[in-house]
Structure 1
């Protein structure tokens, strides 16, 4: 009888639809596990296996334990070893070509800036290759067939690192938080090689415009908005019938105000003065330009009481500020030194989850939400937090004060902040008139004073901006997305033909 029961259990398990989810980033864990996405899939009878950083797998498993939910390591060390040891240069440049080689039928200014950076910072050998690579990139941007061949050519680099997991769980769908722009490309290629369908979940606002061609043949995508869908279909050849607009589940908690602390509790957390207006600055864009000059101007305005009302400043460091030995770490230390001893200047440091997931973490969502909700004026440099702050309906200023000489390092590429307004997401913020953009200290002062006196300014534009960018503003994106993934899992069939379903339309 025990043998028969065991056989029946195995048969039931094999019939059950299973989904792999690659969560190789802190924000991916928020997207899938701190929203309704995975819970909706579980309620639909889907078995979910989340693959995440090996260093935090046990921690994540204990925190999100649920029936039919399993956790496995992503084996990132093995992937890094494979990338470095097997035709490393060829893999490196194939990745670069995918990044730069999307169609020019959509705005390419963001990736063009990265191309300029690479041209400046690459090795001597890279500089020798660059003219040939640029020529190939011009072909890729015009030819859908060239792009298709590039994507398919990478299938030769498919290590069987996950073969035991595929055999153990027999998934019918693999979902990743990128379309193989990170090391998830190896998982996606192995799935494609096995005839298992794959899906990308767009986690970041600028992902479709900042990265282009998939790192493996893929079939499905879930994005935030019609805008992102157009970027995927016209910029990276996705079949429009296979791109779903599900909104952004990560922001459901903002719309529902589930993370937001009271003003009193948040001010007490940072020893803020309840009688002073709160100005917040979230660092961003540290790859190409320092934030220091923006912060320095704000510190002077607040410390000298140069604004129309008594204010205090809260500065949130960027996750990249914690890269050991980097220019960004140096900038973080300069900021700490600048604000030392100033009573109305405070610093917020994002929380790290651990492993390779970095400081993009769901651990401090209450901090982020409360910072935006209780800021009288919120400032940044076009970061994704302009969308998040618009959800909280707070005034927004994008501070683009140029740093003389940029990083002032000959080997380091610098890009003036005044040059980046035409990047796709930046351009959308500007065109939406959802906030103000300033280029010097006087403009900064005027914009802050305007919003302090008239916080309702640009409110209608902010509301339309989040509608256009997020689509669903009722906190339902997680359930919608979970239903979509569940439907794909139930309808997907294992077939070797899936590796040929990446069809360019240009």
Structure 2
């Protein structure tokens, strides 16, 4: 293969883990491919210092310019196109997650957006039933294709542009420009729920690699991908879990958080806070711990969600309530995600040892159907989805929220439940019973948990990064064969 160059859009902290803290990029570099990582402009030096090696180049993704274009060039039209793209999947797949987003937009709409919403619901109904309509919508998006990266295309002459989504984020502008220049495009699926939550491509795409046959089915049936363009490669971000390469020593980890080595550890990862408070879950678990209502002496470690650090008073308020609870209630502790910096925020790989150790050493792992149920299952921990409704939700006029008892049929949530990979608690009594069951019989759901992992991530051999890298190399070969 002649010397070729790949652009990789890493516009999210999880994408940094996927591409750079796995074997994906090293596999490309070892094959002699030049790799250009496009990421947050403020992080170029930091990423260069940590991951730099011959053949790897770091450039800015110009997210500020992309946002400005989105906000100033027909912003209303772009917003509606993006909304319809996100929720316009075929109804041949489970659309519960997208339907909740529609409900949110409808409930929070004001002004002209409120007036247009009934017409958009009709449009969504058509999109759900018509492949022709979906293809038309996808084409309409391409009218918005600014030349933000012309100098980079001319400097590096890439043969392939790879992104962590098929144009679902601001990466759509890079991918659209690539397609207009005749450069092949590919995407990876970084998130467990992505194919069932974000729907149609936002740019012309040639290939995509995903975690599992289930995700492939969602892409084909929901978003009209051709089967031969969808590759199942597993999830490179989790290779480190299978290798246990991030795991801290147990004594060291317990000392880090002032945990009692003689008490059972309940690890709770906040989740779903965009739609619902988590405080009622945390408080219910803390009460069981503090009042010794569990079968064995226990302690609670709460991991705050990255969204708790957004510029959002509701989320920040819950963050402070959880911190205050930990100060007042014995045997309750808090751990906070570590920010990567720049616009990539608190979704980062900076604390993979922390995440790994929390899951590995939790005697029971609890959350609200977070992707961390998959990660905890890899560590073969008992898993409990805590779905206690918050009275009144966020209790904020104009703010949409969802009762946690109503989200069990979201696609990934449903698969977790149907697999029997863990239990679900919707009230304090069920919570107490489920925790006690797992404290007394920690392996009761282990075989179902292992099957769940095989179904959801496909490959458990810690080779997903190399496998995905090889897939990208095959895309380069096809690009070369087509004259790119």
What range is the shorter-chain TM-score in?
over 0.9
Give unpaired runs (5+ residues) of structure 1. Answer: 1-11, 499-506
Task: Tell me how far 1:154 sits from its aligned partner.
Answer: 1.4
Tell me the equivalent position of 1:468. Answer: 455
1:412 to 392, 399, 403: 399
Deviations 1:246-284 (A, max 9, x none): 000000000000000121111011111110000010000
Distance, in Å, in 2 between the alignment partners of 1:167 and 1:151 is 27
2:243 to 256, 259, 265: 256
Distance, in Å, in 1 between the alignment partners of 2:159 and 2:474 is 11
**Number of corresponding residues:** 484
Tell me the equivalent position of 2:367. Answer: 380
Tell me the equivalent position of 1:115. Answer: 102
Task: Tell me how far 1:392 sits from its aligned partner.
Answer: 0.1
Deviations 1:287-306 (A, max 9, x none): 11100100010110111111
Tell me the equivalent position of 1:483. Answer: 470
Bigger RCO of structures 1 and 2 (CA < 8 A, at least 6 apart): 1
**Does 1:51 pair with 2:38?**
yes
Deviations 1:145-172 (A, max 9, x none): 1111111111111110100000011111
Tell me the equivalent position of 1:317. Answer: 304
Q: Closer, same or farther in 2 for the Cα pair 1:130/1:494, shift >3 Å? A: farther
Q: Cα RMSD between the aligned structures?
A: 1.2
Q: Residue 338 of structure 1 aligns to a residue in which SS? A: helix
Distance, in Å, in 1 between the alignment partners of 2:316 and 2:220 is 38
Task: Tell me how far 1:329 sits from its aligned partner.
Answer: 1.0
Distance, in Å, in 2 between the alignment partners of 1:62 and 1:469 is 34
**Does 1:157 pair with 2:136?**
no
Tell me the equivalent position of 2:227. Answer: 240
Distance, in Å, in 2 between the alignment partners of 1:442 and 1:391 is 28
Tell me the equivalent position of 1:230. Answer: 217
1:64 to 51, 64, 72: 51
Tell me the equivalent position of 2:376. Answer: 389
Tell me the equivalent position of 2:193. Answer: 206
Tell me the equivalent position of 2:352. Answer: 365
Asked if 2 retains the 8 angstrom alpha-carbon contact of 1:195 and 1:494, the reply is no
Task: Tell me how far 1:326 sits from its aligned partner.
Answer: 3.0
Tell me the equivalent position of 1:219. Answer: 206
Task: Tell me how far 1:343 sits from its aligned partner.
Answer: 2.9
Asked if 1 retains the 8 angstrom alpha-carbon contact of 2:325 and 2:332, the reply is no
Deviations 1:404-447 (A, max 9, x none): 11111121011110000000000000000000001100100000
Give unpaired runs (5+ residues) of structure 2. Answer: none
Asked if 2 retains the 8 angstrom alpha-carbon contact of 1:297 and 1:441, the reply is yes
Tell me the equivalent position of 1:447. Answer: 434
**Does 1:33 pair with 2:10?**
no
**Does 1:285 pair with 2:267?**
no
Q: Residue 190 of structure 1 aligns to a residue in which SS? A: helix
2:168 to 178, 181, 196: 181
Task: Tell me how far 1:491 sits from its aligned partner.
Answer: 2.2
Q: Residue 360 of structure 1 aligns to a residue in which SS? A: coil
Tell me the equivalent position of 1:16. Answer: 3
Tell me the equivalent position of 1:9. Answer: none
Tell me the TM-score normalized by structure 2.
0.98
Asked if 1 retains the 8 angstrom alpha-carbon contact of 2:364 and 2:382, the reply is yes
Distance, in Å, in 2 between the alignment partners of 1:335 and 1:268 is 21
Tell me the equivalent position of 1:501. Answer: none
Q: Residue 131 of structure 1 aligns to a residue in which SS? A: helix
- The correspondence of residues 70-149 of structure 1 with structure 2, limited to 5 A, is 70-149=57-136
Asked if 2 retains the 8 angstrom alpha-carbon contact of 1:196 and 1:493, the reply is no
Distance, in Å, in 2 between the alignment partners of 1:127 and 1:205 is 31
Structure 1 runs of 4+ with >2 Å offset? 493-496
Asked if 2 retains the 8 angstrom alpha-carbon contact of 1:196 and 1:494, the reply is no
